[in-house]
Structure formats: structure tokens, C-alpha cells
């Protein structure tokens, strides 16, 4: 049975929480002055790691991702470097505009969901940083797959009972989020914090940050 509730789902890390800044801070001590190359390499190898280890816990994705990224960047990673992201995951902070934007969406009557390529305990370690109540969380640990596979979206739809016409998905990642949301025919808001250059004509709305998304809430309501 469907529901008339309006839902907005989000990717978490990179959209709501500033994982790139955190990765630089966490890994800089072992990067040998090449932190930008290490983070760039992690971006490049993470999709391959997720494809190679499709049902592995995200902690293992992080460990293997850092290991492969260091090799790709030509960095001699010390043994403790492999576990740094896992052990310090709870220190990831929100973008400054995230808490107010989420609370504003709540005030506009949206229910909020998170669809994250993460483990349950890693997400819980950062939940309080969001600064707003989240109604439903779907993790990779629960669905045993990683976006852009559709498992997160299918599980969310099953648990929430949402009508797709009342569901908006918002995220920074084109490949992990905008593309699967398009395949499902969802309205989608591209939170283009990274100005990555994809064609915005293929999404419902492009905004530069969460503050702009909150300001557009009335426009999104009107389409529902």
C-alpha cells in the first residue's frame, strides 16, 4: 500500500557530511605531503573496489580503497594507515549548511531518509552531526550491495511505502545516485557541491549546496 507522505532521501557522505575534508585531515599524516593525490586516487579506485567486493562490509572497502589508492599515488602507506578511515570515521563533520537545511525541510513537512554506501555502525557514529532527526536509514550493510545498484532504493521503497511521485532523491554523486534515481523515474536534486560538469538538463533540479535545496523546497512540493 502506498502513502501520501512526502519523502526526500539523501546520500550522506559528500552531500550532507564533508567526507573529503575529513579524509584529508585523517590521512594527511601518512600521505607524505601528497594528500591531494591520495584522495584523488581513492575516488578513482573506490568504484572498482565496490565492484570487486560487492558484499563486503564498507570498513573493508575503506581499508582496501586506501591501500589501492596509496599504490596508485605512489605513496608508501604505513601499516596503521590502512585502518585510519575506519577508526576515525566518527570525526566526520557536517557541511555548515546541512543541519539548518534538514530542519527547514522538516518544517516544510518532508520526511527524511538516508541511502548510504556505509555500515550501520559507521553511520551511527556520525548521525548526530546531521543535526536533525532522520526518519529512515538504508545502508549497504542492510542490502548487501553498493549504489549505483538499486538495492538501497528498492529497500527504501519497500520500508516506507512511498509513492514515487512523492519521493525526491538528492545527492552530490552523479554515478552513485543521480543515475539510479533516473532509472527509477524519481525526481532528483543534484547537490552539485563539486561543480563536476555533468549535464544538469537530465535532473529535476541542480543546486550548489543544501541551503539552496532548502530554499527550493516549495518548488519541489508544487511538483509532487
Q: In degrees to the nearest 10, what's the CA dihedral of 67, 73, 76, 82?
A: -20
Interval 170-175 mean pLDDT: 96
d(CA 157, CA 125): 25
d(CA 190, CA 206): 5
Helix%, strand%, coil% for the chain, nearest 5: 55, 15, 30
pLDDT score, position 1: 47
Closest by CA to 139, choosing from 152, 124, 126, 158, is 152
Domain boundaries, the chain: 7-17+93-223, 19-91
Q: Give pLDDT tens digits for 12-70.
A: 999 999 999 999 999 999 998 999 999 999 999 999 999 999 999 999 999 999 999 99
- On the question of pLDDT at 211 being above 90, the answer is yes
Three-state secondary-structure class, residue 1: coil
- On the question of pLDDT at 223 being above 80, the answer is no
pLDDT score, position 224: 45
Contacts of 42 (CB under 8 A, 6+ apart): 23, 65, 66, 69
**Which of 70-79, 200-209, 213-222 is least confident?**
213-222
pLDDT band at 4 (very low <50, low <70, confident <90, very high): confident
pLDDT score, position 218: 76
- On the question of pLDDT at 2 being above 60, the answer is no
Dihedral sign of CA atoms 41, 29, 194, 126 in order: positive
User: What's the CATH number for 7-17+93-223?
Assistant: 3.40.50.1000
Closest by CA to 108, choosing from 214, 23, 182, 1, is 214
C-alpha triplet 72, 31, 83: angle, nearest 5°:
85
pLDDT score, position 91: 98
Closest by CA to 138, choosing from 177, 193, 98, is 177
pLDDT band at 222 (very low <50, low <70, confident <90, very high): low
Q: Give pLDDT tens digits for 107-150.
A: 999 999 999 999 999 999 999 999 999 999 999 999 999 999 99
pTM greater than 0.85 (yes/no):
yes
Contacts of 119 (CB under 8 A, 6+ apart): 57, 58, 59, 139, 140, 141
Amino acid at each position: 500500500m502506498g502513502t501520501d507522505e512526502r519523502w526526500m532521501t539523501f546520500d550522506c557522505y559528500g552531500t550532507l557530511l564533508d567526507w573529503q575534508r575529513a579524509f584529508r585531515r585523517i590521512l594527511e599524516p601518512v600521505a607524505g605531503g601528497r594528500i591531494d593525490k591520495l584522495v584523488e586516487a581513492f575516488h578513482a579506485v573506490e568504484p572498482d573496489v565496490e565492484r570487486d567486493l560487492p558484499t563486503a562490509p564498507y570498513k573493508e572497502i575503506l581499508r582496501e580503497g586506501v591501500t589501492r589508492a596509496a599504490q596508485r599515488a605512489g605513496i608508501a602507506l604505513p601499516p596503521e594507515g590502512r585502518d585510519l578511515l575506519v577508526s576515525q570515521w566518527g570525526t566526520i563533520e557536517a557541511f555548515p549548511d546541512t543541519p539548518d537545511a534538514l530542519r527547514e525541510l522538516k518544517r516544510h513537512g518532508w520526511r527524511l531518509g538516508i541511502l548510504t554506501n556505509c555500515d550501520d555502525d559507521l553511520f551511527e557514529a556520525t548521525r548526530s552531526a546531521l543535526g536533525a532527526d532522520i526518519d529512515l536509514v538504508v545502508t549497504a550493510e542492510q542490502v548487501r550491495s553498493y549504489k549505483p545498484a538499486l538495492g538501497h532504493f528498492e529497500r527504501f521503497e519497500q520500508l516506507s511505502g512511498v509513492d514515487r511521485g512523492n519521493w525526491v532523491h538528492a545527492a552530490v554523486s552523479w554515478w552513485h545516485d543521480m543515475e539510479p534515481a533516473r532509472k527509477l523515474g524519481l525526481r532528483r536534486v543534484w547537490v552539485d557541491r563539486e561543480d563536476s560538469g555533468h549535464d544538469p538538463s537530465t535532473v529535476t533540479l541542480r543546486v550548489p549546496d543544501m541551503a539552496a535545496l532548502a530554499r527550493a523546497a516549495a518548488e519541489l512540493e508544487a511538483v509532487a
